[in-house]
Chain A
Amino acid sequence: MWREIGDREAGKIRPNAFANRFKRNRIESLQLSNHKDIVSAHRGSINSLQVDLTEGRYLLSGASDASVAAYDVQRPTEYEGNGIIGKHKCLFVVDRTHESGHQYAVSSAVWYPIDTGLFVTGSYDYHINVWDTNTTQVVTNFKMPGKVYKTAMSSLATSHMLIAAGTEDVQVRLCDIASGALAHTLSGHRDGVMTVEWSSSSEWVLVTGGCDGAIRFWDIRRAGCFLVLDQSQSQLGRRPPILDRSATNKVSSSKSSSPSPNLPVKARAAQRKLSNGSSMKQSPIAKIPAKGPLRQRLHPGMLSAQDRATAHYGAVTGLKVTEDGMHLLSAGSDSRLRLWDVESGRNTLVNFETVRLQTSKPMQLATSQNSALVFVPCMTTVKAFDMWSGRTDLTFRGHYECVNCCYFSFQDQELYTGGNDRQILVWSPSRLVYDEMDEGPHQDQDNWSD
């Protein structure tokens, strides 16, 4: 690291490249933390984890025992093991005993994106509660027609305060915190909605994944959805070659003779073929380029064939848009993970190495910095796949039962995972343990002979 620091000092490496390189190194060394320990306050499986977006300091967890808890992940409550292991106990917990606590499992707990003054929970008791963090009192609540699977708020939103909710019901509901009323409903899914996710490039665009296997894109300012992802839509036309290629025989021959690239590379190449990259912030509808062999038209005139397209066989259990807003990851009960090109709506066909995914519950995926890795709960382990090749880069074994959720903290390059074993595990970049031990009395040495 010293060499890179020296290069940064001398201007030989750009500061942002330096930071990215350092983050990458840290992510590669992720392992079960040897210095950070979260003392889970839950007696049920952990369903949802999120660190606040403002300071990256408070972890919010929701669990099946109807409890929600918050932890300070930056400042330990106490230390153990010679002051090296920081224990993080919960700052507060609200459970059934709380006067307005949820009655059944909390499936989703998210922070209000602007500050940590509020958080939102969704529960199988058909309710969405909005809490004041400081008083742990419910400020507003919304009654849903069925179990709430997932709630989400847009981190970009400047002109709305909407909670998007996916429930057992076929309709996606938008709850307005400002007015305390349901803003509107989005109809299209044919089964319950397991997962909802706001776009990372437009505050108006919402992505939802249903038990019907469909992933739908909505512009909430307009009626109906404007895009339904189709897993079979993958082949994009190559960029049209120029007509006269006679002059390039040498080069083209070298190209054709080269062995065909392996699948992941090809897949990735394919997904990037088309479309102009203009941002979606104005009107995604107007921006869909009028070219390519097949074009979805807009709801309500959308062809029924397109409207019935599926992204997964079975339910869509998890969604995650990438940081740069260009891709979407989805997980399904078909144990598949798919990477989609948002602009064109195509399946990129990246082959994520055999994953067996939990099928019955929504799952929370996470991506690393610069969207290089995706963290996926795979039964009792969590795997980190390379986003572009689908290769397994890292495997995290530590939970005793199925993992439901992961959250990756960009700020600390730490991964938080929660599972049915009621544990919240922290995976952090490795620290040299002996460095911590040095200078101290060698009391930790065991006295065993070989």
Chain B
Amino acid sequence: MSIWNYVVTAHKPTNVTHSCVGNFTSSGELNLIIAKCTRIEIHLLSPQGLQPMLDVPIYGRIATLELFRPHGETQDLLFIATERYKFCVLQWDAETSELITRAMGDVSDRIGRPTDNGQIGIIDPECRLIGLHLYDGLFKVIPFDNKGQLKEAFNIRLEELQVLDIKFLYGCSKPTIVVLYQDNKDARHVKTYEVSLKDKDFVEGPWSQNNLDNGAALLIPVPPPLCGVLIIGEETIVYCSANAFKAIPIKPSITRAYGRVDSDGSRYLLGDYNGLLQLLVITHEKEKVTGLKIELLGETSIASTISYLDNAVVYIGSSYGDSQLIKLNMHPDAKGSYVEVLERYVNLGPIVDFCVVDLERQGQGQVVTCSGAYKDGSLRVVRNGIGINEQASVELQGIKGMWSLRSSTEDAFDTFLVVSFISETRILAMNMEDELEETEIEGFCSEVQTLFCHDAVYNQLVQVTSSSVRLVSSITRELRNEWNAPAGYSINVATANATQVLLATGGGHLVYLEIGDGVLTEVKHSQLEYEVSCLDINPIGENPSYSQLAVVGMWTDISVRLFSLPDLNLITKEPLGGEIIPRSVLLCAFEGISYLLCALGDGHLLNFLLNTTTGELTDRKKISLGTQPITLRTFSSKNTTYVFAASDRPTVIYSSNKKLLYSNVNLKEVSHMCPFNTAAFPDSLAIAKEGELTIGTIDDIQKLHIRSILLGEQPRRICHQEQSRTFAICSVKYNQSGGDESEMHVIRLLDDQTFDFISTYPLDTFEYGCSILSCSFSDDSSVYYCVGTAYVLPEESEPTKGRILVFMVEDGKLQLIAEKETKGAVYSLNAFNGKLLAAINQKIQLYKWMLRDDGSRELQSECGHHGHILALYVQTRGDFIVVGDLMKSISLLIYKHEEGAIEERARDYNANWMSAVEILDDDVYLGAENSFNIFTVRKNSEGATDEERGRLDVVGEYHLGEFINRFRHGSLVMRLPDSDVGQIPTVIFGSVNGVIGVIASLPHEQYVFLEKLQTSLRKVIKGVGGLSHEHWRSFNNEKKTVEAKNFLDGDLIESFLDLNRSKMDEIAKQMGVSVEELCKRVEDLTRLH
């Protein structure tokens, strides 16, 4: 890899952090607005459900999202503040369906220190001011003027340092805030202040309340007529106002989110950290509050935000599980729950760990993530591919072939679907009700297996069986002519097009027939030296119904041969090499280029460039698509030609920019496929798979497909072992039985196909699984799972004891082979020169795998290296060890074989708090840190002095805005030897917000070109709310802010493709290249993910 990197999002953030409901797009429309950390989505509530209207990136991490309506406005405005102290006010422009920026600004201060508990942004219900709590001890006020415009902001000193929540009270003549805070002695109180805009200061508020529940952390202001505030604690809920105080005890729980049900503020939904949804009711007589009531409604995902929409429909936004749309029913269901889940919205966040596996060994990675938290923990299998939208399916076992036929030559749509079985052929047809029903074509022979079918000229149909070729009228459905195989021979393989039939019988006989009006003419016969395994005469020349070429795949000598038609002269013979016979051959043309595709019995596919005049085959390439024999078939969708390769890993082959591209289809084992373009299901495919016949359409783009495996517990670490075809995970189960909560830590073994738990190894009490690795050792052929653990005792601030457990998978069970006690938490494990390298607290420790006298094995420590604060993340390459320290950035160690010692070679002296590291190449290392930045450092082996050589130079810096937990080498797309993109090395990352991204190392020339493009795009694509892209991507932490370097924002660059033509022209002009060239280059990049 290189230092010039391209960062792009493959899967957008899905962690819902904020949501609000209001009339944003029009005074009559109700909108749900969702913030997913760095994106906002605007939905419209319609009788059909939620309709997405807009999904835009925000150049910042959203800290506050609030709707408000200034005086005199008919619809709501949206206030957004970002974690880097920018704010903007957005309005919907109904004409262009775009967001327009009403106001924007910077609210950062030189003094004060950022709050630990996160930023608070609130808007006065009377719209007199916006209040922000960004720094301890300061309350920032942005006043509105009479016209609803924002005026200059000012700070008010806030005495309370540990603020937990601030809200505006309703119904106050002057804007009044209520502050929930903790004092020096950890007691919690609330206090009110009036904001005096004239004096720019606080005035003591109308009331205060001391010594609340120790867990009080949330304030809910109650609207008129009741007014006052609800204080939600862990054991009590208190209603408090100037003249009332009501409290009720609740079952201990931590409330995470609330949503107001009625506009009069008498009912609230509360969501807690276990995903329980409760209804809180304020009982009142007129305006006098008489009490509180709470009722459990049921269970949802763990809510981070709750928005009551309408008609008992509620949106539950979640950070730890899938977000949901739920309906609250009047009556409980059988389990006593009032909650009915209407819809789930997939959320991958937080991605705590993941692994990239190629389960099908075809060069395309799938990502398996440890997602979610608490009870919403899950594994997600993320895979790139083309999706099939299933429209109909029937159960049908043993399909041996399928062809679609038209009822007349002129008909634009297919009518019949011929399905062949081992001893019969059945014909399905679309009836008047657009249903598929079984029918008959009298002229067809239905008692035997059909080898091939095709539409033919003159309203005829061709059916080839093992004994004959039948020509049938598609109008009368009667047999018009039949060609019988010579006695003693049966037809093995056959193919046809509208005017030609080519078939092969046993003994290597190749027979060529031509179709006339009611006649089948045997034009040529030829005998080959070996049996024919497959053949094709798909017309790719000028004449769409007549082929000049025939291609034949041979047994025994394993070759493909090209013959000219009609004379069956051998033009080319191409030996394939190897021992696997060709199973399917296909002539096809993409974008005016002719190809010969040849699929082998072991799942490999060969492709050749075909010169149609000379028959010359050039540019041979071989890739693996699966492990089973492949059947090739062409189909077209939206006027583009595709080839479908049916196998255990169905693949669609197409061409873009004159390159062949391969895309997985999101289906398991497909045995046969044929296009089935009917009036009811246009552009559809009929697909035979696993005892089922499915009709469906195909996505026109490939995208990520996510399979969720809900665990009910939180997976923390995952790794895959190819040999045993298993995954192993470290996982935590939270139990809430009987009021007290306990955690149970286990190692689980899962089948890599079904994801069933096949074995579980429980860890000791207080023992946590910290790291997991599949590896083998020198002088031992077995493969092991190694697990690093820590004993986390409540009285210890840092673990002082842990274990390394070595397991072997035997009979589907985890067998403990060896264990080694350590003096601390085993944060990381790596396979290293046939040994095991562990990071234990401050130390890097190398273990040998030793054979004891009694034949058992043990880990024996060999050497170590001290000097880290906490060595959390370790990667190795050869003898090099790259350590990501908790707070001391990246250091490079080297293992010296002769001395058997590990020494420090170099280090980055910046104080980065690391969250992940990866080695890009021998010299360049990638790190992610605590303030949502990524950076690269380079080893300086050429340095003149020891000091220079001992320093890792920072070569790239970039603000990603995502907290990365893991980097892994790998790719989400198929890596093909013949594409440029295939040469670009990539690293995948996973973040807390559920983002899966790709970092690709570009050649310098391409980097420079794209950097220029990025600069041009910054001028054309303006950030929502006027936020600056340059500022957003600048590396920023406590110590410094510097411009991004040597990283490019792929999301911005790829948004070029979404621009309208005139803007594209403008940019192309600036760049000095044609729009087509630009599109092509950017499109190529989109294929990285």
Which residues of A line the B interface, CB within 8 A?
1-3, 5-6, 8-12, 14-20, 22, 25, 29, 35, 55-57, 74-75, 83-84, 86, 201-202, 238-242, 245, 247-248, 250-251, 254-255, 258, 264-265, 268-269, 272-281, 289, 291, 323-326, 343, 370-371, 388-389, 411-412, 431-432, 434-436, 438-439
Contact = CB atoms under 8 A, between A and B. Distances in A.
Interface stretch (B71-79, B358-366, B497-505, B907-915): B907-915
B235 to A, nearest CB: 20
Interface stretch (B18-26, B114-122, B433-441, B603-611): B114-122
A91 to B, nearest CB: 10
B637 interface: no
A343 B930 CA distance: 32
Interface in B572-614: none
A56 B155 CA distance: 33
Interface in B944-1003: 950, 963, 965, 992-993
How many residues of B sit at the interface, in one of the four size bands?
35 or more
Nearest to A29: B797
A268 B160 CA distance: 10
Contacts of A435: 800, 823-824, 840-843
Given A239-B201, A254-B210, A432 B798 contact: yes
Given A10-B350, A276-B201, A388-B184, A251 B208 contact: yes
25 contacts: A2-B799, A15-B915, A74-B909, A201-B111, A239-B193, A239-B204, A251-B207, A251-B208, A251-B242, A254-B210, A269-B159, A275-B157, A276-B156, A277-B137, A277-B138, A277-B157, A279-B109, A279-B111, A280-B110, A280-B111, A323-B113, A388-B184, A435-B840, A439-B845, A439-B861
Contacts of A16: 114, 116, 930-931, 1038
Given A3-B792, A255-B208, A411-B911, A438 B823 contact: yes
Contacts of A258: 210
Contacts of B842: 431-432, 435-436
B550 to A, nearest CB: 60
Given A242-B205, A279-B111, A439 B864 contact: yes
B804 interface: no
Nearest to A83: B866
Given A10-B714, A277-B112, A436-B866, A15 B913 contact: yes
A86 B158 CA distance: 45
Contacts of A25: 797
A238 B109 CA distance: 25
B15 interface: yes
A285 B714 CA distance: 57
Contact of A5 (B194, B872, B911, B931): B872
Given A434-B823, A438-B822, 10 more contacts: A1-B870, A9-B716, A9-B992, A202-B110, A240-B203, A255-B210, A265-B183, A276-B156, A277-B155, A279-B111
B373 A432 contact: no
B422 to A, nearest CB: 54
B43 to A, nearest CB: 24
Which of A5, A268, A281, A289 has its CB near the most chain B CB atoms (within 10 A)?
Answer: A5
B823 A10 contact: no
B181 interface: no
A6 B827 CA distance: 11
Contacts of B931: 15-16
Contacts of B963: 8, 11, 15
Contacts of A326: 111-112, 137
A272 B909 CA distance: 38
B886 interface: yes
B208 A432 contact: no
B887 interface: yes
A363 B864 CA distance: 42
Nearest to A72: B947
Which of B202, B206, B210, B320 has its CB near the most chain A CB atoms (within 10 A)?
Answer: B206
A248 B350 CA distance: 46
A313 to B, nearest CB: 29
B203 A241 contact: yes
Contacts of A412: 888, 911
Contacts of A74: 907, 909
A197 to B, nearest CB: 15
A198 to B, nearest CB: 13
A2 B792 contact: yes
A277 B156 contact: yes
B659 interface: no
Interface string B883-910: 0001110000000000000000001011
Contacts of B110: 201-202, 279-281, 325
Interface in B108-149: 109-114, 116-118, 135-138
B930 A15 contact: yes
Enumerate the 3 nearest inter-chain pairs by beta-carbon distance, A residue then B residue, closest first.
Answer: A277-B155, A325-B111, A11-B992
Contacts of A275: 157
Contact of A276 (B200, B825, B911): B200
A10 B866 contact: no
Given A5-B872, A272-B157, A247 B373 contact: no
B452 interface: no
Interface in B1034-1064: 1038
Interface string B52-89: 00000000000000000000000000000000000000
B92 interface: no
B768 A2 contact: yes
B243 interface: yes
Contacts of B887: 19, 22
Interface string B821-855: 01111010000000000001111010000000000
Given A17-B117, A57-B909, A248 B866 contact: no
A238 B768 contact: no
B790 interface: yes
Contacts of B864: 439
Contacts of B827: 2, 5
Contacts of A388: 161, 184
B892 to A, nearest CB: 13
Interface string B854-894: 00000001001011001010000000000000111000000
B650 interface: no
Contacts of B202: 239
A343 B159 CA distance: 14
A275 B155 CA distance: 9
Contacts of B822: 438
Contacts of B245: 250
B1014 interface: no
Given A241-B203, A435-B823, A439-B861, A247 B116 contact: no
